Amino acid sequence: MSDSSVKDLSLPAETEELLQRYGFSRPTFEQLRERLARGEASDESNRIHGAVEAPTPDEVIPLPALGSAARAELSRLGSEAIRAGKVAAVVLAGGMATRFGGVVKAAVEVAQGKTFLDLKLADIRKAAERAGGRVPTYLMTSFATDADVRRMAEKATSSEAPVATFAQFVSLRLTQDGALFRDSQGKVSPYAPGHGDLTFALRASGVLAKLREQGVAHIYMSNVDNLAATLDPAIIGAHLKAQKAISVEVADKAKGDKGGAPARVAGVLQIVEGFRFPKGFDQDSIPVFNTNSFVIDVAAIERDFNLTWFAVNKEVEGKKVIQFERLVGELTAFLPCNAIAVSREGEDGRFMPVKDPPELEARKAAIVGLLERRGAL
């Protein structure tokens, strides 16, 4: 390594305070950069080298059609859980706030003067109201979004619809040989190390203990930019019926989709990221992929998980950097998993993510129509 280690490096007080406030782990960081320096954090090292197979037909269960008796039964089960105070919502609102010109995505206006976060919260309130219950909502922020999202949460919260925040962790970017990356001003470069922080941050922040005290048994987690992932009682009901610790919504693949897919690893169903499949594996043999919307049992995540730290290649100021990230989908490697096949678009669509302004413009009409039908607009 051409740079001294962080533990021996004098960083500005402002940087030290940021790292401390957002749970930076020096021992973990040092271990990861040593792996990188030894050449043990390559694309090849990210791959699974055991047996990987497509899921069997009975392992990916379609959500019953709207209007069907089976859908009504799942909705009844989910509504009962919401009414009993067993369900909370977690919205992922972290990241680096770079896709919308430096504006935190949660605060970007989508339609009718409403932001992404406004619409997510409106949907959760509507679901609670319909079920006759109360759904506590927590927003996972990052150091880059925390202040703005906290202000929005404080403005939105009420006794009937409580909203609060907790923060994911922080780390520092590296050069490809394991040295600390510095920007054009000579400063180290912090980043948010992925939504795999979820269960660790829930525990560290005390939110998980608070949910237990409130009697919450299940968390519905979705991305702030996927407004189609509404709190549908039928999804909660499908999770309850499966009696598995974690359920994941999967949707039909379309051209250009990137992300994980349900697969059997050594005979166990789990979400496998695209870059982890063995070379030569036909990923088209799996017609669905992970939408990053989950239902997770609270009791199942009251422990640490040995999630993989993946080396991710990024570019900052025209220079190649490495970020180590964890992914929430890998929880399925440790917990019994249920895969729910949902519609992607249309009246029952549940996957319309928005990553940047052009995508928002292209999807706006469909998103507005969907949210109007579901009562969030």
Give residue limits of the domains in the chain.
10-374
Half-sphere CA count of 89, side-chain side, radius 13 A: 31
d(CA 218, CA 90): 10
At residue 9, the pLDDT reads 65
Half-sphere CA count of 212, side-chain side, radius 13 A: 11
Contact present, 192 and 96 (Cβ < 8 Å): yes
Map the chain to HEC letters. CCCCCHHHCCCCHHHHHHHHHCCCCHHHHHHHHHHHHCCCCCHHHHCCCCCEECCCHHHEEECCCCCCHHHHHHHHHHHHHHHCCCEEEEEECCCCCCCCCCCCHHHCEEECCEEHHHHHHHHHHHHHHHHCCCCCEEEEECCCCHHHHHHHHHHHCCCCCCEEEEECCCEECECCCCCECECCCCCECEECCCHHHHHHHHHHHCHHHHHHHCCCCEEEEEECCECCCCCCHHHHHHHHHHCCCEEEEEEECCCCCCCCEEEEECCEEEEECHHHCCCCCCHHHCCEEEEEEEEEEHHHHCCCCCCCCEEEEEEECCEEEEEEECCHHHHHHCCCEEEEECCCCCCCCCCCECCCHHHHHHHHHHHHHHHHHHCCC
pTM: 0.95
At residue 5, the pLDDT reads 62
At residue 105, the pLDDT reads 95
Strands 310-316 and 246-252: unpaired
Torsion-angle region of 97 (φ positive above 0: left; ψ -120 to 50: alpha; else: beta):
left
At residue 2, the pLDDT reads 45
Contact present, 144 and 102 (Cβ < 8 Å): no
At residue 8, the pLDDT reads 57
What CATH number is given for 10-374 in this structure? 3.90.550.10
At residue 39, the pLDDT reads 87
Residue type, 236: I
Contact present, 157 and 174 (Cβ < 8 Å): no
32-257-143-8 Cα dihedral, nearest 10 degrees? 20
At residue 97, the pLDDT reads 77
**What is the per-residue pLDDT across 253-300, written as a single tens digit (0 to 9) for each?**
987 777 799 999 999 999 999 999 999 999 999 999 999 999 999 999
Query: Which residues of the chain have a pLDDT value below 70?
Result: 1-9
**What is the per-residue pLDDT across 346-368, written as a single tens digit (0 to 9) for each?**
999 999 999 999 999 999 999 99
At residue 50, the pLDDT reads 86
